[in-house]
Amino acid sequence: MKVVEHINEAKDTLFSFEILPPLKGKSIESIYNGIDPLMEFKPKFINVTYHREEYIYRERDKGLLEKVSIRKRPGTVGICAAIMNKYHVDAVPHLICGGFSKDETENALIDLQFLGIDNVLALRGDPIKTESTFKPTENGHSYAVQLIDQIANMNKGNYSHDEIQLAPTNFCIGAAGYPEKHFESMNMATDLHYLKQKVDRGADYIVTQLFFDNKKFFKFVEDCRAIGINVPIIPGLKPITKMRHISFLPKFFHIDFPDELSSELLKCKTDEEVRKIGVEWGIEQSKELKAAGVPCIHYYTMSNSSEVKQIAGEVF
């Protein structure tokens, strides 16, 4: 079932969350251990991130270097299939531009359709650690809007190398939105311009980057509606759980903490104190969003469900 169908049928705010594929060497049980505690809140869909392959250079004979691909996490497609089989809940795989040619993207979508997965979140993706900026794969996409365009074309039966129409796919396409703008955008207006392009090309709903200031989310939704973006907009939340998050989250995600939250965090001296503040803030933030009638609240668990369970237990 499609994400937008779940939203349209819902009588109240839905609960959903996102997990990371486990590190290499861990079993599927590590995924289930993170999902099981959250199933009491009846998620309608679970997102699974994709982590592109990275490379090392290994010395061969006569000083020559060989580029070797390393894969740190199992495949997203297989994890999605396992989740749907075990929990009978829709899985939403992340599909990214980086690391894929257009043909490889098409093949991945064909596999997803074959497995009965009809939701995807289309993202550009981050640069790999050895790149200072994002570099597209040869014959791949540079921007998420191009990826969305390809998926939308397949939904019309238009594939890459076929002159005749084939059976259309039926993907519900999600796109990312940034209440505090994408860090590469010149300003908020240009960021919203690009977001509208994604919707115009075929995105069915938007899920936001994490944020801690609901006022910025409400303003973001208002600005989206003002320029004709009328698809569902799902807020994405992540509880603060560690001291290092105080500096890491603003730096990595290019977000700000509200003054009220930052003043409380400045008093913290231990991870446990931060975790307590983070959970309390997450509860109040979620309650306000739910009272405002958002279609769904999406939690970034980072495969650690304990804090999200505490928050959801007070809200859902």
Active site residues: 18
Query: Contact, 145 vs 198, CB < 8 A?
Result: yes
The DSSP string of 83-114 is HHHHH--EEEEEEESTT--HHHHHHHHHHHHH
The 10 Å Cβ neighbour count of residue 116 is 12
The 10 Å Cβ neighbour count of residue 71 is 11
Query: Contact, 215 vs 187, CB < 8 A?
Result: no
Q: How would you label 158-196 residue by residue, b for 16+ Cβ within 10 Å and e otherwise?
A: ebeeeeeeeeebebbbbbbbbbbbbeeeeebeebbebbb
Query: Which residues, in sequence order, are bridge partners of residue 296?
Result: 14
Query: Contact, 93 vs 76, CB < 8 A?
Result: yes
CA-closest candidate to residue 221, choices 207, 238, 237: 207
Query: Contact, 54 vs 72, CB < 8 A?
Result: yes
β-pairing verdict for 119-123 and 172-177:
parallel
For residues 231 and 206, give the distance between their C-alpha atoms in angstroms, rounded to a whole number. 7
For residues 87 and 35, give the distance between their C-alpha atoms in angstroms, rounded to a whole number. 9
**CA 68 to centroid of chain Cα atoms:** 28
For residues 111 and 194, give the distance between their C-alpha atoms in angstroms, rounded to a whole number. 29
